[in-house]
C-alpha cells in the first residue's frame, strides 16, 4: 500500500483534510485496509508488553502564558522534580527540591497549614489553589501533553482544587440511606480491615467499567458487578445517578478555574468509548459502555465512605483523578495530603463543596481522617488505572475486530512510549508512523 501523499502533507493540510473528508476519506480507508491486512501478533508488537511490564500513557496539562498569569496569585510553583524507588510502591514516590513561588492569595494559609490545621479553601481569596510544575522536569517517557499546543509553554498543572458552596435549594444527601443502598447492591472493593492497596480502609463502591481478571467471549473488561442477591434492582441505578450528578458537579467546579482541563486530561477515555462503538465480543455482540461514561468524561467512578490510605503513594493511572465532596447530612472530616518536598506536606481540608483534579502519577498523596465520623465522610472519585487500558487493548486485538483509524492512533501513543519520545510535533510523527507502518505491510 502506498501512502506517499500522506507523508508529504503539512500539519495544517492534514487537519483540513481530516475535517473535510471525515466520513469515508481516503486516509481512513487506507488505514483500515492496512490494519485488516496485519496479523494480530504483529499489531501486539507495537504494544509495550502485558501486565506490570506495560508502560503507562499519562496526560500532562500544559498551561498557556495567559492561563498561568490568571491563576498565578492562587498557585504554588514547584521546582526540581524527582521520582524515587520504594519497596511496595510500583510507581515509586515523588518529591520536589523546592517551592519556587507561592501566590499572594494563598501565601498566608500555605505557611500556617499543617497536619493538625489543614488548608481550608473557604478562607482563600477566589477559593481555589493550583500546584504547578515545570514541563521539562516532570515529563517522562510515559507522558504526552494536552492543553496548550505552544511548544514554548513552560508550565503544567498538577493539581487544581476549588471550593463551591452548595445552594440552599440543593438537598443534602442522606449518607446513611446511600450507604445502605450501596451495601445492598454492591460489594466493597476492599475489606473493612487493612488491605494490600497502600493500607486502604473504609468502604469503596465502584460503578461503570472496570477490568476483568478473566477474558470472557473475547472481552476482558465490563460493568462492575452487582450482588446477585440484592433485594431491589433500583438501588444500583439510584447510586449511579447520584455519582453521575456529583461527577458533573465536580467537573464543572474545576473547569471554572481552568476551562477544559477535565476534558483534556480524560481524552484517552473518550477515545476508548468511541472505539467501543465498532468493537464486538467473540459472539458478535457490540460492546457498549455504561451511562456513567455517556454523561461524564469518565468511564468509572467510586462512592466512598470513610476512605483512607495509610501509605503515601503514586498511582499508575491513565488520567487525572477527580475527587468531590457533595453536600450531605453529616459532617465531613477528611484531609488530603500531597507530599511536595521533604519538608512540606500540603494538607487540604475536605469539607463539603471541595472539588479537585490532580495527577496521581506525579504527585505523592495520601488521604486520612481529620476527625473520626461514624458511617460518614462521603466523597466521590473518578479515575482509570492502567490495568483497564491494558485489558481494553487486549479486547481490541481479538480476531474478528476490525480496527479503525482511532484504534491505530491509540497504538501510535504506545509507539511514542516505546520509542521514549517526548511530544514535539505529533502530527508529523504520526505521518511518519503511518507511512512506515503501511510500508512494512505491503
So what's the pLDDT on residue 144? Answer: 76
Residue 311 has pLDDT above 50, yes or no: yes
Residue 424 has pLDDT above 60, yes or no: no
pLDDT in tens, 209-267: 888 877 777 778 888 888 877 778 889 899 999 999 999 999 999 999 999 999 888 87
Confidence tier at 200 by pLDDT (50, 70, 90)? confident
Residue 42 has pLDDT above 50, yes or no: no
Residue 49 has pLDDT above 50, yes or no: no
Residue 102 has pLDDT above 90, yes or no: yes
So what's the pLDDT on residue 48? Answer: 35
Q: For residue 72, is it within any domain? A: no
Residue 60 has pLDDT above 50, yes or no: yes
So what's the pLDDT on residue 55? Answer: 52
Q: How far apart are the first and last CA of the chain?
A: 5
So what's the pLDDT on residue 318? Answer: 84
Q: For residue 98, is it within any domain? A: no
Residue 421 has pLDDT above 70, yes or no: no
Q: For residue 377, is it within any domain? A: no
Q: For residue 75, is it within any domain? A: no
Q: For residue 174, is it within any domain? A: no
Greatest mean pLDDT among 23-27, 78-82, 214-218, 265-269 lies in: 78-82
Once rounded to an integer, what is the mean pLDDT over residues 277-293? 68
pLDDT in tens, 145-171: 888 877 778 999 999 999 999 888 889
So what's the pLDDT on residue 82? Answer: 92
Once rounded to an integer, what is the mean pLDDT over residues 137-142? 76
Domain tally, the chain: 1
Percent of the chain with pLDDT over 70: 68
The overall average pLDDT reported for the chain is: 76
Q: Among the listed ranges 6-20, 190-204, 318-332, 336-350, which one has the minimum average pLDDT value?
A: 6-20
Residue 53 has pLDDT above 50, yes or no: no
Q: When comparing pLDDT for 433 and 334, which is higher?
A: 334
Q: Among the listed ranges 68-82, 134-148, 184-198, 261-275, which one has the minimum average pLDDT value?
A: 184-198
Q: For residue 145, is it within any domain? A: no
Residue 381 has pLDDT above 50, yes or no: yes
Q: Among the listed ranges 132-136, 193-197, 266-270, which one has the minimum average pLDDT value?
A: 193-197
3-state secondary structure the chain: CCCHHHHHCCHHHHHHHHHHCCCCCHHHHHHHHHHHHCCHHHHHCCCCCCHHHCCCCEEEEECCHHHHHHHHHHEEEEEEEEEEEECCEEEEEEEEEEEEEECCCCHHHHHHCCCCCCECHHHCHHHEEEEEEEHHHHCCCCEEEEECCCCCCCEEEEEEEEECCCCCCCCCECHHHHHHHHHHHCCCCCCCCCCCCCCCEEEEEEEEEEEEEEEECCEEEEECCCCCCCCCCHHHHHHHHHHHHHHHHHHHHHHHHCCCHHHHCCHHHHHHHHHHCCCECCCCCECCCCHHHHHCCCCEEEEEEEEECCCCECCCECCCEEEECCCECCCCCEEEEEECCCCCEEEEEECCCEEEEECCCCCEEEEEECCCCCCCCEEEEECCEHHHHHHHHHHHCCCCCCCCHHHHHHHHHHHHHHCCCCCCCHHHHHHHHHHHHHHHCC
Residue 54 has pLDDT above 80, yes or no: no
Q: When comparing pLDDT for 48 and 91, which is higher?
A: 91
Q: For residue 419, is it within any domain? A: yes
Q: For residue 253, is it within any domain? A: no
172: CB partners within 8 A, 6+ apart: 327, 328, 329
So what's the pLDDT on residue 192? Answer: 42
For 435, the domain range is 4-54+403-440
Once rounded to an integer, what is the mean pLDDT over residues 79-100? 89
Grid cell of 27 as nine digits: 486516509
Confidence tier at 279 by pLDDT (50, 70, 90)? low
Q: Among the listed ranges 77-86, 255-264, 432-441, which one has the minimum average pLDDT value?
A: 432-441
Amino acid at each position: 500500500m502506498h501512502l506517499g501523499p500522506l507523508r508529504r502533507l503539512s500539519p495544517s493540510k492534514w487537519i483540513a483534510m481530516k475535517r473535510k473528508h471525515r466520513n469515508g476519506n481516503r486516509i481512513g480507508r487506507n488505514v483500515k485496509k492496512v490494519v485488516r491486512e496485519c496479523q494480530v501478533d504483529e499489531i501486539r508488537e507495537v504494544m509495550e508488553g502485558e501486565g506490570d511490564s506495560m508502560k503507562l500513557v499519562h496526560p500532562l496539562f500544559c498551561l498557556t502564558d495567559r492561563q498561568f498569569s490568571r491563576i498565578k496569585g492562587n498557585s504554588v510553583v514547584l521546582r526540581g522534580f524527582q521520582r524515587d524507588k520504594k519497596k511496595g510502591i510500583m510507581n515509586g514516590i515523588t518529591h520536589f527540591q523546592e517551592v519556587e513561588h507561592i501566590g499572594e492569595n494563598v501565601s498566608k494559609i500555605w505557611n500556617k497549614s499543617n497536619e493538625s490545621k489543614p488548608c481550608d479553601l473557604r478562607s482563600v481569596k477566589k477559593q481555589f489553589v493550583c500546584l504547578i510544575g515545570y514541563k521539562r522536569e516532570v515529563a517522562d517517557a510515559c507522558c504526552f501533553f494536552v492543553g496548550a499546543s505552544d511548544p514554548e509553554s513552560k508550565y503544567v498543572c498538577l493539581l487544581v482544587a476549588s471550593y463551591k458552596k452548595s445552594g440552599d435549594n440543593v438537598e443534602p444527601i442522606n449518607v446513611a440511606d446511600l450507604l445502605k443502598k450501596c451495601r445492598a447492591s454492591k460489594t466493597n472493593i476492599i475489606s473493612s480491615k487493612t488491605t494490600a492497596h497502600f493500607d486502604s480502609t473504609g468502604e469503596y463502591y465502584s460503578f461503570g467499567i472496570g477490568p476483568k481478571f478473566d477474558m470472557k467471549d473475547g472481552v476482558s473488561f465490563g460493568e462492575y458487578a452487582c450482588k446477585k442477591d440484592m433485594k431491589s434492582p433500583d438501588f444500583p441505578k439510584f447510586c449511579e445517578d447520584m455519582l453521575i450528578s456529583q461527577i458533573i458537579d465536580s467537573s464543572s467546579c474545576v473547569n471554572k478555574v481552568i476551562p477544559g482541563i477535565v476534558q483534556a486530561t480524560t481524552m484517552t477515555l473518550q477515545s476508548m468509548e468511541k472505539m467501543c462503538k465498532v468493537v464486538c465480543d467473540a459472539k458478535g455482540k457490540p460492546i457498549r459502555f455504561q451511562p456513567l461514561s455517556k454523561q461524564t468524561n469518565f468511564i468509572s467512578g467510586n462512592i466512598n465512605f470513610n476512605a483512607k490510605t495509610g501509605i503515601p503513594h503514586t498511582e499508575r493511572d491513565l488520567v487525572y483523578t477527580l475527587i468531590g465532596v457533595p453536600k450531605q447530612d453529616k459532617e465531613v472530616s477528611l484531609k488530603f495530603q500531597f507530599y511536595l518536598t521533604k519538608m512540606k506536606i500540603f494538607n487540604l481540608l475536605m469539607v463539603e463543596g471541595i472539588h479537585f483534579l490532580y495527577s496521581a502519577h506525579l504527585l505523592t498523596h495520601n488521604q486520612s481522617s481529620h476527625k473520626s465520623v461514624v458511617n460518614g465522610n462521603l466523597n466521590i472519585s473518578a479515575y482509570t488505572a492502567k490495568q483497564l487500558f491494558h485489558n481494553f487493548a487486549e479486547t481490541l486485538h481479538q480476531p474478528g475486530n476490525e480496527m479503525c483509524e482511532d484504534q491505530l492512533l491509540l497504538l501510535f501513543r504506545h509507539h511514542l512510549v516505546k520509542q521514549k519520545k517526548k511530544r514535539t510535533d505529533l502530527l508529523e510523527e504520526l505521518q511518519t508512523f503511518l507511512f512506515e507502518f503501511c510500508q512494512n505491510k505491503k
